[in-house]
Chains A and B, each alone.
Chain A
Amino acid sequence: MKLELHDVRLRAGEFALEVDAELAGRVTGLFGASGSGKSTLIEIIAGLRRPATGRIVLGDTILTDAAAGVHLPPEQRQIGYVPQDGALFPHLNVAGNLRFAERRGRGAQQVFARDHVCELLGIGGLLAREVTGLSGGEQQRVALARALVSAPRLLLLDEPLAALDAARKTAILPYLQRIRDELGLPMLYVSHVPEEMMAVCDDMAVMHAGRILQHGAVEAVFRQPASLEVARIVGVETVQPARVLEVRDGLATVALGGARLAALADGLPSGATDVLVSIRAEDVILLQAGGAWQTSARNRLASTVRTLTSEGATVRIELDCGFPLVAVLTRQSADELGLAVGGQICALVKAPNVHLIPRA
């Protein structure tokens, strides 16, 4: 089912939302920092906020048409909405919360039976419990179940894992994947955590300051941010200005700092000279300096280790290879390489992992 957002605008004080998009993926992620407008957009789609202008169409149902004065109230939209805290009704127990949602009028096309939903989310044993006694993860599962039994045609999830600790997050992700895979229900998933995007979403839209900056397959957005802003938002570690020296056979050679890099030239407008190079820290491979192994990686950079920062199970390494480059290794790998600040090392980056972003 397709969700069309035509010229949807809303102004609230300093903040202005302006969105024009067609979201057709099974699960589309809305990605961005807090304050970027993700939640506002979700509330507009749910019918909880009224945009100043624009049309919103879900499948063949017009949800909002500001010009025609159409604004379907939330209760008639059949759009499930699960906010960060789950928002369970504290005066009802788990079964009561589900029953509240089930009492939707006849004629609902898409009905997920309560028993099926409870089984899917593993909450069958919680039905008699008071919601105030549930753990955070249980509350979110009940909130998901409640949204599902309300016969939604679209499910809006607003940072559903944000209030949970790391272990609970990991425990709930499979449930979201099951909803996605077994119910065939389109979802909009709001988050600012790249790993959640990759785990749950097919497509993602990157939001910043009330606008969608880039919309595409999750992998594509992370590997090829369309602009410096997107690159910063999605968290690519190395973003550097560079000059295109040559494009031949689909391979571009760029100069940055004292180094030269090979990159795939697809997507690069012909004649472009000034570009930004983005390299995800995970895509950098380190090799002991002086090693003579033949590798397929196009880019082999003699580097000096500048800093080593331990981040849990990983180590973040800032290198100088004519330009600053960031790599992330597991602690074991870093130990085995005997990395030390000031030491020499060889950095490998495959050409397809060097992303060229044309400068505006």
Chain B
Amino acid sequence: MSDVLPVTLFTLGVALLGTLLILPGGVALGWLLARRRWPGKALVETLVALPLVIPPVATGLILLKLFGRRGTLGVFLERTFGIEIVFTWKAVVLATAVMALPLLVRTARVAFEEVPARLEQVARTLGAGPWRVFFTVTLPLARRGLLAGCVLAFARALGEFGATVMVAGMIPGETITLALGIYHEVQLGHDGAALGLLAVSVTLAFGALAASEWLLRRRAP
């Protein structure tokens, strides 16, 4: 029923968008966790890690309650911007973004922790302000780890199912990704179509993980 190509492109697009959405915030948060001490740090750390440890469906339910018609954020977004999230493609992006965030933040944090603080301090004494130090010393030295984190987040977003199905439903042509499509086709008894989607899905995930491995391994000179 569902065409392989549109679903693949939709999945890629959604995963890319979800990753881009969390990129600035995730990198900033990773840096804050690695380099600064602040009140509430432990709480934020736990919140960000939550989607890793609770069932994806539970995360989806939380999102549904938050962004639904009667959810706090849902009402706010609807009234202020007239945006409806749940059961649209936007919900797919939201779900993949939330599920991918922990991986990005954790990898970014480790990447920043591995940059010697001494180099940043010396850069300051050489006349560079905090922003210049971040962009010319910290970021270049952490870049492989950050790239690997992006690839990991992207791969996670590609395969996301549980949270997506809760918050976006399974609407053909609207919210069906590769993962959702596989389930959908099997439900309908279209095993052949499901296997086709499976093959694409495995190929994409394999490629993303291989890229991540390669980037991580290249970090050690």
Per the CB 8 Å criterion, the residue count for chain A at the interface is 28
Q: Quick check: which of B62-70, B133-141, B158-166 contacts chain A, the rest being far away?
A: B133-141
User: B127 and A79: CB pair below 8 A?
Assistant: no
Whether A101 and B124, one on each chain, are in contact in the complex, defined by CB atoms closer than 8 angstroms, is no
Interchain nearest-CB distance for A145 vs B (Å): 12
Q: Which of A73, A104, A105, A151 contacts B124 (CB 8 A)?
A: A73
**Is the CB–CB distance between A100 and B123 below 8 Å?**
yes
Interchain CB contact under 8 A, B119 and A74? no
- Asked if B200 is at the interface of the complex by the 8 Å CB criterion, the answer is no
A132 to B140 Cα, complex, angstroms: 16
Residues of A within 8 A of B116 (CB): 87
Given A87-B118, A91-B141: A101 and B126 interface contact (C-beta under 8 Å): yes
Question: Are B118 and A79 interface neighbours, CB within 8 A?
Answer: no
**CB closest residue in chain B, given A130:** B221
**Binary interface encoding of chain A residues 53-81 relative to chain B, with 1 for a CB under 8 A from any of its CBs, else 0:** 00000000000000000000111011111
Q: Interface size on B (CB < 8 Å)?
A: 18
Output the least CB separation between A348 and chain B (Å): 50
Cβ of A147 < 8 Å from any Cβ of B? yes
B141 CB contacts on chain A under 8 angstroms: 89-91
Residues of B contacting A: mostly: helix
Nearest residue (CB) in A for B127 is A104
Cβ of A150: which chain B residues have Cβ within 8 Å of it?
125-127
B118 touches A73 (CB 8 A): no
Is A356 at the interface (CB under 8 A from chain B)? no
CB-contacts of B93-120 with A (<8 A): 116, 118-119
A75 in contact with B128 (CB, 8 Å): yes
* Interface pair A48/B128, CB less than 8 Å apart: no
- Determine if B25 is an interface residue (Cβ-Cβ < 8 Å): no
Q: Tell me the residues in window 99-144 of chain A with beta carbons closer than 8 Å to chain B beta carbons.
A: 100-101, 103-105, 132
Contacts of B128 in A (CB 8 A): 75, 100, 103
Counting residue pairs across A and B whose Cβ atoms lie within 8 Å, the total is 64
**A37: Cβ under 8 A from any B Cβ:** no
Counting CB contacts under 8 A, is A5 at the interface? no
Answer whether residue B173 sits at the interface, using C-beta atoms and an 8 A cutoff. no
Q: Which residue of A lies closest to B221 (CB)?
A: A132
Given the interface contacts A90-B141, A91-B141, does A83 sit within 8 Å of B127 by beta carbon? no
A85 at the interface (CB under 8 A from B): yes
Q: Residue B71 at the A interface, CB < 8 A?
A: no
A358 at interface (Cβ–Cβ under 8 A)?
no
B129 interface hit (Cβ, 8 Å):
yes
Is A75's CB under 8 angstroms from B137's CB? no
B140 & A46 in contact (Cβ 8 Å cutoff) = no
Q: Kindly identify which residue among B119, B124, B221 contacts A89, using a CB–CB cutoff of 8 Å.
A: B119
Contact A74 B121 (CB under 8 A): yes
CB contact under 8 A between A81 and B127, given known A87-B116, A91-B140, A91-B141: no
Contacts of A153 in B (CB 8 A): none
Once bound together, how far apart are the Cα atoms of A20 and B54, in whole Å?
A: 56
Among B122, B129, B130, B221, max chain A CB count under 10 A is at: B122
Given A48-B124, A150-B125, 5 new contacts (CB under 8 A) = A81-B121, A87-B119, A91-B141, A100-B126, A101-B127
Please list 28 pairs of residues, one from A and one from B, whose beta carbons are closer than 8 Å in the complex, sorted by A's number: A46-B121, A48-B121, A48-B124, A48-B125, A73-B124, A74-B121, A75-B124, A75-B125, A75-B127, A77-B125, A80-B125, A81-B122, A81-B125, A83-B122, A87-B121, A89-B119, A89-B123, A89-B137, A90-B221, A91-B137, A91-B140, A91-B141, A100-B126, A100-B136, A101-B126, A103-B127, A103-B128, A150-B126
